[in-house]
Amino acid sequence: MRIHYYLDINDETNKIECRKCGHVICDATENYKLHVPRAEVWPDEIPGGRRPPRDKTLLIYYEYYCPGCYTMLDVEVMEPGSPPLWDIQVAPAREA
Amino acid sequence: MTQQTTQEKELYTYEPPLGGKRTFVGGGWLPSREELAAYEKLSPVDFEILSYRMNSIANEARQAVLRVSGSPVVAEGGECLFAIYDPSGFTSSLACGLLLHTAGTQGNVKEVLDVQGVAPGVYDGDIFMLNEPSVGGYHACDQWTGTPIFHEGELIAWLGSLTHTAETGAIEPGGIAASARSLLDEGYRVQGIKVQEKGQINRAAINCLLRASRDPAYYVLDLRARIAGLNVAKERFRTLINRYGADKVKAAIQQNIDYGEEMARAKLRSLADGTWRVLCYIDWDVGPTPKLIKFHVTMTKKGDELILDFDAPGPNQGYYNCYLPGSFGLVYVAIASQLFWETPGNWGYIRPIKAYFPRNSCLNVPYLTPCGLCAAFPVTEGVTAAIAKMFYTNQDHWEDINAPWQRTCTAGVFWGGLTQHGYPSGSVFSESWAVGTGAGIDEGRGDGCDTGGMMMTVESCISDVEMMELQSPFLYLWRREGLDTAAPGRWRGGASVSYGLVPHGSPLVMLGFTMIGGHGDTSQSLDGAYPPAMESPCEIARGTNLLEAFRTKWIPQGIEDMHKLVEESGGTIEVVDTPRSVLPVETDKDVIASVFGGGRGVGDPIDREPERVLADVENKITSLTMARHVYGVVIDPETLTVDYKATEAAREQIRTNRRKRGKIWEGSK
């Protein structure tokens, strides 16, 4: 079952997998963001367009990448130091 | 942040008036809920004909309102709604410009019946008016008129029309006063007075309204437009009864609601169960310094029900607040446009939704809290994102996946004063209605629509420049799609508008600003896309020699040109990055410029085809800098061609940087 632009839940294994490279990330009952690299990025590191300067910004970006192909899976806009948000918590198809 | 459990929060619901009991209300009987529920189901053919006819009546009446009103917000912005309700006020058919009032106007019918139903009574030919935010709508600008329909001694339906009428006689012109610290500061609020009694216009009541507004001309146009819409719909409704009989019409009203519910529940059943969470923000309350206000949206779908559980901090001191009808309305902007867009807009598709708002929060404020600018705008964004995430679980809905649109109204500018024709007026500039929509995915719309429209007012249309210049004391220097405003992604968001104005031909022009988002990127894209550029601070260039520039046949064509003008003429730039009370501006010298943030994107920007990035560069949607450093696409600035080898290397370098910087979150160990 697809749960994201780049992520599926494998109905056989009940694991979350990358749709691009097939990397198995974690069990479907877990927050995938706890199992993928994340980088803290200041908004003004993104060139083009108006972004808040780092001495004034209230929020920063947390980028999450697939550990296999380093496709960017999410860009959270969060207060500095925030834990990963469990944004997708889909009941596995066999339990639904 | 409130610490209330879901059960402690307030569930949005609608209790029928007068206890749902059979009651004599002056002009006839209000049936009980049991009587209404026991309708005889129509044949499929009769139901199709009658539900379609009622929908047509609502749409025709709304068109009448749009055509009679000359107000730019209504006539061009489309901020107008028309509804047919059942006798208790449950919405059955809806013609919607303002999605946020899909649910929010039923409270007005309830208020009329509860307060006036038994005495002095509700009669055929009465037209009631309400604009009380704690009852319906979200702020005092949301002005509703409604009329009952009786047939042979029975109240069988209500008709209602709502417009956004800008001038409410608040402490500042334009109806959305940044300096308001109480609901009492936000202008007159009408509690169900009869502007028409038994078919006769009540001039005394209408004079009370006109004499409370700075802009009686536009005000009376809107009021007359709403009355015109009611008259059109009433006439059509009578024709419908004469042709098909009252029993079938009454049954169709109820069956339409039940049909809406069936469709909504079936769609929910087609999706996987689960929970989706989104964080969204605003960045200001009052004062010169920013303040982060955080909203949690938790959406749980189980079977054929959807539970929306919101967390939000306490009421703000300023006008970023919402009473329950407004918050629920903003939830329904997302529900109506994203989840149940194919379902008849009525109470039926509200039944499967349970929305819980924390008590005494900025989404559910105590009475007399100011609410001019809705705190729930981010909530629309959060619910839209949650729905998009849920849609991935069924391939049938992939084409409907839609990232949040630009929030709108957050870099808005209002004006008040005298027109160039010498009469008092005030309104909002219409660029809010031309902001970028959210992106879809491969199977759907792909990129967001550039300057596509306002999410809460889906039929909105940016005003024609010549019309704006005719109606208000301003000249446009430029208006175009803003460079790099769209969220960069595999599918990018829609670009939003950039515009520059100079006041002209009036001795008195004042501006107010609703600016938020100037201190942080307060919005999120989906699935690896970056947020859009933040709302620009509005800029006011003061004391320029603009007329001298005109004489040399040079007209500033963007913010950079405006800065050059200031440099050359010795003026100053004032940056407005928080909401601002009205302030005077000087005609032919001061220039006002604003750039809205864009729609949200979907997917990793380095997955976007180089050819699409090149096209965006050619169309001035994306800069060469963003193309190179965010999309990893190397374009020759002279020939405007893609260097594919360099692009491949640039994208590999971006991946390498990600490998270096990315670390598993330590808290998970």
Could you give the angle at which helices B246-269 and B216-244 cross, rounded to 10 degrees?
100
Compare all CA atoms of chain B with the CA of A35 and give the residue at the minimum distance: B664
Encode B336-346: b = buried (16+ Cβ within 10 Å), e = exposed: bbbbbeebbbb
pLDDT confidence of residue B147: 98
Q: Which of residues 74-93 of A touch B (CB under 8 A)?
A: 74-79, 83-91, 93
pLDDT in tens, B214-259: 888 888 999 999 999 999 999 999 999 999 999 999 999 999 999 9
On whether any CB of chain A is under 8 Å from the CB of B532, the answer is yes
Whether the pLDDT of residue B668 is over 60: the answer is no
Q: Which of residues 269-288 of B touch A (CB under 8 A)?
A: 272-279, 281, 283
pLDDT in tens, B459-486: 778 888 998 899 899 999 999 999 999 9
Query: Which of B391, B521, B620 to mutate: most A Cβ within 10 Å?
Result: B521
Could you give the angle at which helices B44-68 and B246-269 cross, rounded to 10 degrees?
90
pLDDT in tens, B5-16: 998 999 998 899
CA–CA separation, B379 and B611 (whole Å)? 35
Give whole-number Cα distances, B195 to B192, B199, B232, B498, in Å. 9, 10, 17, 41
Whether the pLDDT of residue B449 is over 90: the answer is yes
List of chain A residues whose C-beta atoms are within 8 Å of the C-beta of residue B629: 46-48
List of chain B residues whose C-beta atoms are within 8 Å of the C-beta of residue A39: 658, 661-663
Can you say how many angstroms the Cα of residue B600 is from the centroid of all Cα atoms in its chain?
16
Among all chains, which residue has been given the structure tokens 């769609």?
B267
Q: Supply B101's token pair.
A: 């009032």
List of chain B residues whose C-beta atoms are within 8 Å of the C-beta of residue A33: 665
List of chain A residues whose C-beta atoms are within 8 Å of the C-beta of residue B525: 75
What residues pair up with A9 in beta bridges, in sequence order? A16
Concatenate the DSSP letters of all residues of B135-187 into one string: TSSSSTTEEEEEEEEEETTEEEEEEEEEEE------SSTTS--TT--SGGGG-
Encode B202-223: b = buried (16+ Cβ within 10 Å), e = exposed: beebbeebeebbbbbebbebbb
List of chain B residues whose C-beta atoms are within 8 Å of the C-beta of residue A5: 392, 441, 490, 526-528, 602-603
Q: Which of B32-36, B66-70, B89-93 has the lowest mean pLDDT?
A: B66-70
Provide the pLDDT confidence category of residue A96 given band limits of 50, 70 and 90.
Answer: very low
Is B663's CB within 8 Å of A39's CB? yes
Query: Which of A6, A72, A85, A87 to mutate: most B Cβ within 10 Å?
Result: A72
On whether any CB of chain A is under 8 Å from the CB of B296, the answer is no
**How many residue contacts between A and B have a Cβ separation below 8 Å?**
182
Query: Which of A40, A45, A50 to mutate: most B Cβ within 10 Å?
Result: A50
CA–CA separation, B460 and B73 (whole Å)? 9
Encode B481-516: b = buried (16+ Cβ within 10 Å), e = exposed: bbbbbbbbbbbbbbbbbbbbbbbebbeebbbbbbbb
Is B521's CB within 8 Å of A78's CB? no
pLDDT in tens, B518-571: 676 678 999 999 999 877 678 899 988 888 888 888 888 988 888 998 988 888
Compare all CA atoms of chain A with the CA of B667 and give the residue at the minimum distance: A83
Give whole-number Cα distances, B33 to B16, B29, B254, B390, in Å. 8, 12, 11, 35
Q: Give this prediction's pTM.
A: 0.95
CA–CA separation, B144 and B141 (whole Å)? 9
Strands (DSSP E) found in B252-304: 274-282, 293-302
Compare all CA atoms of chain B with the CA of A84 and give the residue at the minimum distance: B665
Is A48's CB within 8 Å of B629's CB? yes
Is A50's CB within 8 Å of B605's CB? no
Domain ranges of chain B: 23-36+55-262, 397-602, 607-668
Indicate the SS3 state at residue B424. strand
pLDDT in tens, B580-625: 888 889 999 899 998 888 999 999 999 999 999 999 999 999 999 9
Provide the pLDDT confidence category of residue B102 given band limits of 50, 70 and 90.
Answer: low
Domain ranges of chain A: 7-78
How far apart are the CA of B294 and the nearest CA of chain A, in angstroms?
10
Q: Which of residues 337-396 of B touch A (CB under 8 A)?
A: 389, 392-393, 395
CA–CA separation, B648 and B646 (whole Å)? 5
